[in-house]
Amino acid sequence: MKGLQETGGAIIVGYRGIPKLENEILDSSLCPSGTFVLNENNTYGKELKELGFAMPTITGFESFNFSFHNPNPTPREYLVFPVDEKINIYQKYDDSLYNNFIKEAKRIFKEYNVEEKCNPDNILLTYEPNNKECYNIKDIPHAHGGYQCDNTTKKWSKICKPFYCDIGYYFDTYLNKCIKDMCIESENDDGNIGDFLIASFFSILFGLIILI
């Protein structure tokens, strides 16, 4: 959920929480970290159990967002991303509430897409117009975007803000530009190695046939 919100990919909506707290802040998701399983098959798990501690998993590595080029990047674990909207549904999810969720979703889509409402507290969310005015961002190669929120009117402005890139690139929110994806480069490198091996195999095979 935090990854989706960080890229401005969706309106994030929360439910449940505490009804009496009008200004309650709901984080979009919790514990976006990698964990390891602790059980009797490993030393630490066995020792913890003998000491009377029940700890089935433990955090082993952190995840970071696309601003990791920052000299002091903060792990997602310690970043709070409040939801854009909270709805008045406080029960645990059940299929009997399905129509209530659909009703709320339609209301929120209308507010954000037709009535041009936006959330000034979420600078990551942008509105992508159908007229493609923000498709190409000036002076930022490979970048595309949408309108950013106006803090004063709480409506979508006409200022274009980049938030995604061409395939093979990702948008770095710290450097404010599109960076080539190293994973794509690795795949291409692997493909080149594969092509080289195939060409070498057929060359050797052809040479053996001539020799015979």
Domain ranges of the chain: 187-212
- Single pTM value for the model: 0.71
pLDDT at position 117: 94
pLDDT at position 197: 47
Query: Cα(81)–Cα(17) distance, rounded to whole angstroms?
Result: 15
pLDDT single digits (tens) 132-152:
888 999 899 999 999 999 999
Nearest-5° Cα angle at 140, 83 to 143: 50
pLDDT single digits (tens) 41-57:
677 777 878 888 877 77
Nearest-5° Cα angle at 111, 105 to 117: 135
**At 101, is the pLDDT very low, low, confident or very high (cuts 50, 70, 90)?**
very high
